[in-house]
Chain A
Amino acid sequence: MKNSSLYKGSLTTIIMKLLEENGRMYGYEITQKVKQITAGELTITEGALYPALHKLESEGLLDVEVERVDNRLRKYYKLTESGEKETVNKMAELEEFIRNMQSILSPDVKPGLQL
């Protein structure tokens, strides 16, 4: 992932947000969607994506479906009920983080933050 130290902690939030918006997606589709949305600025590496998907699946936040597409099996991921709730929490956390960062970086925009 580009600028990995800044984005790394947000990978699961990105995945869950994409699944919330798109219903179900497969691994390759997720990498391409991120590339498309960010106009190539952000790239999720395969080595980071699949462990994150498998971890979310084992935690019960994602469910999987498999379909035969062309001449191969394709694994789709979708949010479970608890995954949907967790996405809301993660998005709220991320938005708060962004707000705080903006306050720190541009104190004129949001005065009043005390360190």
Chain B
Amino acid sequence: MKKLTEEQAGHLMEFTRRHYVEYYDLQCELADHLANGIEAAWQDNPKLSFEAALQKEFKKFGIFGFSDIVEKRTVALQKKYYRLLWGYFKNFFRLPVVAGTVSAIIAVRLLLQLSHWIFGALIFSMIVIGIVRLYRLRKNYKDKLKRTGQKWLLEDTIYACGGVSVLLNVPLQLYINIKTVPSGSMLWLLSAILVLIAIYDYVVLWVLPSRSEGHLEEAYPEYKFQVTK
């Protein structure tokens, strides 16, 4: 049976990239699918050229090509990201960690009682720390992409850190809309919101990126082929 050469297999990976499949796991799966189709076509007609067989096989993906597959894969993995995020977030409300969370809320409440400036300082610190950490993470991620040349959707989502707008906009909007620090139950509520934002920032900026390798290996069995390549 006529088989694909190494060069032709490489060409298929390039073909998927040219058709807007950025992510390595999908590139591998779709390239293998095309390769199987081409080899099956060669069984019927060994004289068929590689390019003609490829075009014939690609037509089977319909007028939208790979785009629908990429789009639905993106949705599926983004759901996975949010499930991971929620899993880590929930840990802060389980024993014994919840004691730390409650202590943090009480501490923030005591601090906020002192001055409105402390409210500003807390918001400002969260924004600055968030920006610095995000910048460093994105830089490291870009360096890694240059080094490996392989992009993984889940990793891309982890290093997007849930989007800048959530990280920066939510605390900023709080600061803009709260002119004076409230008292009583509203102060408890504000303290709890600030702690929740801090936990969210910690999970998306520290916990998930630091455990990304483990999650990638779990989500992509292909990942070990990249690391050990």
Contact = CB atoms under 8 A, between A and B. Distances in A.
Nearest to B13: A72
A73 B4 contact: no
Interface stretch (B69-77, B91-99, B126-134, B200-208): B69-77
Give the interface size class of chain B.
Answer: 20 to 34
A46 B58 CA distance: 10
Contacts of A28: 32-33, 36-37
A50 interface: yes
A107 to B, nearest CB: 40
A66 B61 CA distance: 23
Contacts of A51: 68-69, 72-73, 76
Given A45-B60, A47-B62, A58-B80, A72 B73 contact: no
B199 interface: no
In this complex, the member of A27, A46, A74 whose beta carbon has the largest number of chain B beta carbons within 10 angstroms is: A46
Name B's interface SS: helix
Interface in A44-58: 45-47, 50-51, 54-55, 57-58
A71 B72 contact: no
Interface string A19-32: 00000001111001
B32 A50 contact: no
A66 B222 contact: yes
Contacts of B69: 46-47, 50-51, 54
Contacts of B28: 66, 72-73, 75
B132 to A, nearest CB: 33
Nearest to B34: A28
Contacts of A71: 4-6, 9
B32 A26 contact: yes
A67 to B, nearest CB: 9
A65 interface: yes
Nearest to A32: B40
B195 to A, nearest CB: 31
Interface string A57-81: 1100000111011111111000000
Contacts of A58: 76-77, 79-80
Contacts of B73: 50-51, 54
In this complex, the member of B12, B36, B64, B220 whose beta carbon has the largest number of chain A beta carbons within 10 angstroms is: B36
B71 to A, nearest CB: 8
B77 A46 contact: no
Contacts of A73: 28, 32, 222, 225
Contacts of A68: 225
Given A45-B62, A47-B61, A51-B69, A72 B9 contact: yes
B29 interface: yes
Contacts of B108: none
Given A50-B73, A58-B77, 6 more contacts: A46-B60, A51-B69, A57-B76, A58-B79, A71-B4, A72-B31
Interface of B: 3-6, 9, 12, 25, 28-33, 35-37, 40, 60-62, 64, 68-69, 72-73, 76-77, 79-80, 220-222, 225
